[in-house]
Structure 1
């Protein structure tokens, strides 16, 4: 069904690709922050984990449309 949508509107595939690229950048930055921040308190850990979980969820939603 997703293939049919993308055939009718090729912009959908392009949009999904662009979203995945941005998610990849965000995920890489979050992973780097874990190493760059020498002293992580509970708040920092919470924010990093929340951002990572949000990226993962968006990626799962995109995969469910494939």
Structure 2
């Protein structure tokens, strides 16, 4: 995961997600103005997320 984080950040990938279905966890990393990723807070059940990389896409947990 660390390698992908670094490669994606260096390649200016705007957003990436890490999803663990068994653990029912989701983390979103968004590339900030500084060129570094900002992690999302860990969502809780019932949260609705909005994702800038796919217009109109949202996810309810």
Normalising by the smaller structure, the TM-score range is: under 0.3
Structure with greater helix percent:
1
Decide which structure has the larger Cα Rg and report it.
Answer: 1
Structure with greater strand percent:
2
Give me the TM-score of the superposition, normalised by structure 2: 0.24
Whose RCO is larger (CA < 8 A, sep 6+)? 1
